[in-house]
Amino acid sequence: MTDTAIWNFRQLAHHELDGFGGIGEGMSIQIAKDGRRILWLAHESAPKNFTAVDVSDPRAPKLVARADLPQSHMRSNSLETVGDILAVAYQTTKPGLQPAGFELFDISVPENPRSITFFDCSGPHSRGVHQLWFADGEYIHMSSGAPDFIPSHPRDDQFYRVIDVKNPSKPVEVGRWWLPGTREGDSEPPPERHPEGADTGFRPHNTNVYPERPDRAYLGYIDGGLVILDIADMAYPKMVARWDYHPPYHGFTHTVVPFFDRNLYIVSDECVRMEGGDWPKLVWIVDGRHEANPVPISTCPLPPLEAFQRRGGRYGAHNLYENVPKPNAWKSDRIVLGTFFNGGLRAYDTSNPYQPQEVGYFVPAPPERAPTGSIQINDVFVDERAVVYTVDRHVGGLYTLEMDF
Amino acid sequence: MRWTSDLGSGAPFAGKEPLPFGRRRKRPRGPRLPVVVVTGFLGSGKTTLIRALLDKPEGAGTAVVVNEYGEIGIDHALLRSSSDATVLLGNGCLCCNVRSDLQETMRELFADRARGAVPSFERVLIETSGLADPGPVLQTFATDRALGREFHLQALICVVDAVAGMTNLEEMPEARRQAALADRVVVSKSDLAEPGAAELLIAQIAALNPAPIGIARNGEIEPAFLLDEPLAARRSFELGGGGHSHGLTSFSLVFDEPLSWPAFEQAMAVLAALRGPDLLRVKGLLAIAECRGPVVVHFVQHVAHPPIELEDWPDEDRRSRLVFITRGLARAAVEQLFAGVAAVAASETAQRG
């Protein structure tokens, strides 16, 4: 049994979420009307939909609400809140199943989330929504399939969609974009597949949009690399930059976080194979001075593969803290916080972007009944108090921390 | 000696608020692992003091590096042997010696910790051999090329025993340097000494070094006295020059007005060029005109630690304070040098304006 390894973080609390501690990659803070600070968490997989935790006192998190999924053949791995509206992504295990789309809830009483509407994205070739970005209260930017979309390859079933939710009871699609060649009927040829076994699809994962550049969407396009879209006219997004580093790297570009004032992008891969099968999965520092030509200049240093390869489960990059453009979220254009599965949560100082420096880590001991025998830290959120929330993918639940670097 | 940031204003990735010394830190060590170095003459009680610390809860998570392989039995601690013969030659200027064994040991510790091969320790404690000159050890932590990127010298502790300490300070230059360079001094064996001997010794140490002096009881002392980060000197003082100091002088300078970094850097460069070997240690907390937070500086002979900008001042006093521990450098001369460089820098600005 490996002990918890912690450096320059202070653990405040650990909550296993009463036996349902498998959390996906949706973490969002709501300040409830009564002043309570509620952390909404998306579950990695069925049977649970989402869980709400009162983190007003980060040393004593309390379970507030939890919802079940209507079907076992689906997952709701991603969510966001704006004010008292919660948006939850629904993805099915196979195309053609339902419900696939997203659901909006009224969470003005956190104990009793009430459904406002369900936006249907199901279709013969659609698994629905894997991830959604909802920050301004007006638009949801997401990675989704659609009833009318036929991908040229089944693994490219999701694409970028913008949905207007200004009237939450009547969401309307306003725009969409896909990598040319990934839709049947495109004039461009389909992209060359990654090798069988490492083919994870040409589709977006995270679709981030920030108030600093409301005319840009920053997409981690999985096997397609980094994609930047001009969305000044949301009805007709245009690609303005792409950085494709696969091969020789193994695909699955996950998140793009711009540090606007510093002309940098922080780009993460997702490790999707066990025991180093797709090593190295990295966090890249990319020079964004010339928008059309993103240039990678360094990666965040990680302990060697041998150190974590045999601990069980995945070891490599995954989610980043995304400088979420909401009032109750922390902002930094120097510190990068990333999650690395059994490599835990890691913090980097990018003051010198050519030599990012590790400044802290938190690798919890394997939770009880961990199916991989190891921790699998999956996602991270930081609130404006600089309290860090990080979650395990399978059973470990929620850890709250303070930064000390 | 010069340390110039490549991330200053106008650099492509500086952002809206250029930070010439990188991200502001909550504390001088930033994210680096703290290192406590314990020096002290042969038989002064270093090992006893360390063992007592490790037995306390505050001492948990300490990796221990022993300069000469000791016989201390330490539970829950790591023991590494690090012997470097060159530092045992405690005379002359050793500032250019590279303590390669210590560096290798420390690097290995850091790597082992990162890959989980050793427990995730929180600090390193180095017990130096009794004859070691602390100067080269200080320099080892000064630069990124050595260990300064991963480790931060949190405190240099000197143990002086009340029985033999007085004689050692009088007769052994190594013992004097150890006491003069320390951030804190521990007086040991006061219960074994003649009545009044400890008081005399404390007065003698205070003449060498303005650092806090603590008295060990039964071989142990409050853990915080050993482990906490010392703040830059808060008071003005002038010591040394007397019959007991053997040419070692300590003094502090206080500047009421914020300093310009280029002028400060130039003044230090002149000092280092002319009297480098005699600048045993210079530590300070500076109000720099170009920075919002106070800037921590640290020089050991001709080696400058990279400056660190802090988020906040430790107290209400916003004046720059600089402590000099030198071999025979006169306070007045240093003061005049700083005043002269500042005047030249200011006149240049006036002309341009």
**A76-94 per-position pLDDT tens digit:** 999 999 999 999 999 999 9
> What percent of chain B is modeled with pLDDT above 90?
39
Confidence tier at B349 by pLDDT (50, 70, 90) = low
Report the pLDDT averaged over residues B170-193: 91
Query: Which residues in chain B touch residue A405, judged by CB atoms under 8 angstroms apart?
Result: 26, 30-31
Cα–Cα distance for residue pair B229/A263, rounded to 1 Å? 36
Distances (CA, A) of B137 to B84, B95, B118, B296: 11, 9, 24, 19
What are B35's two structure tokens? 């290192």
- Average pLDDT estimate for A288-296: 98
Catalogue the long-range contacts made by A115-122 (C-beta closer than 8 Å, 24 or more residues apart).
A116/A85, A116/A168, A116/A169, A117/A168, A117/A169, A117/A170, A117/A171, A119/A163, A119/A171, A120/A147, A121/A145, A121/A146, A121/A147, A121/A161, A122/A92, A122/A96, A122/A97, A122/A98, A122/A147
Percent of chain B residues topping a pLDDT of 70: 80
The type of residue at B246 is H
Residue A204's identity, in one-letter code, is: P
Residue B25 has pLDDT above 60, yes or no: yes
* Span A12-23, pLDDT tens digits: 999 999 999 999
- Rounded Cα gap, residues B129 and B133, in angstroms: 9
pLDDT bracket for residue B136 (50, 70, 90): confident
Within this chain, do residues B266 and B132 fall inside the same structural domain, yes or no?
Answer: no
B195 and B48: one domain? yes
For residue B31, give the nearest of A306, A353, A359 by CB distance: A359
Mutate to test the interface with B, among A4, A6, A7, A340 (most CBs of B within 10 A): A7
Whether B337 has a pLDDT exceeding 60, the answer reads: yes
Does B216 lie in the same domain as B164? yes
Q: What is the ipTM of this complex?
A: 0.80
CB atoms within 10 A of CB A381: 25
Q: Is residue B23 part of a domain?
A: no
Please list every residue in chain A whose beta carbon sits closer than 8 Å to the beta carbon of residue B13.
262-264, 287, 353
Residue B332 belongs to domain spanning: 248-352
Q: Which of A3, A287, A304 sits opposite B119 (nearest CB)?
A: A3
Q: How many CB pairs below 8 A link A and B?
A: 60
The residues, any chain, with a CB within 8 Å of residue A369's CB and separated by 6 or more, are A395
The answer to whether the beta carbons of residues A175 and A236 sit under 8 Å apart is yes
CB neighbours of residue A169 within 10 Å: 8
- For A222, the token pair is 């999985």
Query: The domain spanning residue B91 has which CATH number?
Result: 3.40.50.300
Boundary-marking domain end, from B189, B204, B230: B230
Residues B125 and B68 in one domain: yes
Domains delineated in chain A: 23-317 (2.130.10.10)
Indicate whether B264 and B218 sit together in one domain: no
Predicted confidence (pLDDT) at residue A149 exceeds the cutoff of 80: yes
In chain A, residues with a C-beta closer than 8 Å to the C-beta of B147 are none
In a domain, B285, yes or no: yes
Hey, are the CB atoms on A303 and B117 less than 8 Å from each other? no
- B145 and B268: one domain? no
B19 in a structural domain: no
Chain A residues within 8 angstroms (CB to CB) of chain B: 2-8, 259, 261-264, 287, 289, 303-304, 306-308, 333-335, 347, 349, 351-353, 357-360, 363, 404-405
Question: Is pLDDT larger for residue B19 or for residue B91?
Answer: B19
For A383, how many CA atoms within 13 A lie in the half-sphere containing its CB? 20
What's the pLDDT score for residue B68?
56
Is it the case that residue B243 has pLDDT exceeding 50?
no
- pLDDT per position as a tens digit, A216-227: 999 999 999 999
Span B16-45, mean pLDDT?
A: 89
Residues B214 and B114 placed together within one structural domain of the fold: yes
pLDDT of residue A92: 98
Answer yes or no: is B7 within a domain. Answer: no
Please report, as a single letter, which amino acid is at residue A88: V
* Number of residues in chain B: 353
Mean pLDDT for all residues in chain B: 80
- Tokens 């303070």 found at: A402
Angle between helices B331-352 and B261-275 (to 10 degrees): 140
Residues of chain A found within 8 Å of residue B117, distances taken between Cβ atoms: 307
- Is B20 within a domain? no
Confidence at residue B108, expressed as pLDDT on a 0 to 100 scale: 82
In a domain, B240, yes or no: no
Per-residue pLDDT, averaged over B92-112, amounts to: 62
Instruction: Report chain A's mean pLDDT, rounded to a whole number.
Output: 97
Query: Is it the case that residue B234 has pLDDT exceeding 50?
Result: no
Q: How far apart are CA B199 and CA A304, in angstroms?
A: 54
d(CA A377, CA A397): 10
Instruction: Give the gap in angstroms from C-alpha B28 to the nearest C-alpha of chain A.
Output: 10
pLDDT at A1 over 70: no
Residue A201 confidence (pLDDT): 97
What CATH number does the domain containing B344 carry?
Answer: 3.30.1220.10
Q: Is the pLDDT of residue A238 over 90?
A: yes
In a domain, B77, yes or no: yes
Residue-wise DSSP of A178-243: --TTSBTT-SSPPPPPPPTTS---B--S-EEEETTEEEEEEEE-BTT-EEEEE-SSTTS-EEEEEE
The answer to whether residue B262 is domain-embedded is yes
The 10s digit of each residue's pLDDT in B91-101 is 222 223 435 67
User: Which region among A57-71, A131-145, A152-166, B72-86 has the lowest average model confidence (pLDDT)?
Assistant: B72-86
Residue A65: pLDDT above 60? Answer: yes
Whole-model pTM: value is 0.89
Q: Residue A64 has what pLDDT? A: 98
Do B254 and B215 share a domain, yes or no? no
pLDDT of B55: 85
Residues B31-54: tens digit of each pLDDT: 999 999 999 988 899 888 988 898
For residue range B146-176, list pLDDT tens digits in order.
788 889 999 999 999 999 999 999 988 889 9
pLDDT band at residue B350 under the 50/70/90 scheme: low
First vs last C-alpha separation in chain B: 30
pLDDT of residue B5: 47
Q: Which chain B residues touch A352 with a CB distance below 8 Å?
A: 6-7, 22
Are residues A270 and A256 in contact, defined by beta-carbon separation less than 8 angstroms?
Answer: no
Both B54 and B143 in one domain: the answer is: yes
C-alpha distance from A108 to closest chain B C-alpha (Å): 38
Q: What is the mean pLDDT of residues B21-40?
A: 91
pLDDT number for residue B105: 78
Q: Residues B292-331: pLDDT tens digits?
A: 999 999 998 888 888 999 999 988 999 999 999 898 999 9
b/e code A307-337 from CB counts within 10 Å (16+ = b):
bbeebbbbbbbbbbbbbbebebbbebbbbbb
Same domain, B158 and B192: yes
Nearest to A351 among B23, B116, B120 (CB): B23
Same domain, B163 and B224: yes
Same domain for B180 and B270? no
Please name the member of B15, B30, B117 whose beta carbon is closest to the beta carbon of A405.
Answer: B30
Look-up: residue for tokens 């389909």? A190
Give the Cα separation of B34 and B152 in Å (integer): 5
Q: Distance (Å, rounded) from C-alpha A207 to C-alpha A230?
A: 12
C-alpha to C-alpha distance for B230 and B212, rounded to whole angstroms: 9
Looking at the structure of chain B, the number of domains it has is 2
pLDDT reported for residue B348: 63
Name the pLDDT band for A130 (thresholds 50, 70, 90). very high
Per-residue model confidence (pLDDT) at position A244: 97
Instruction: Look at residues B177, B197, B230 and tell me which one is the last residue of a structural domain.
Output: B230
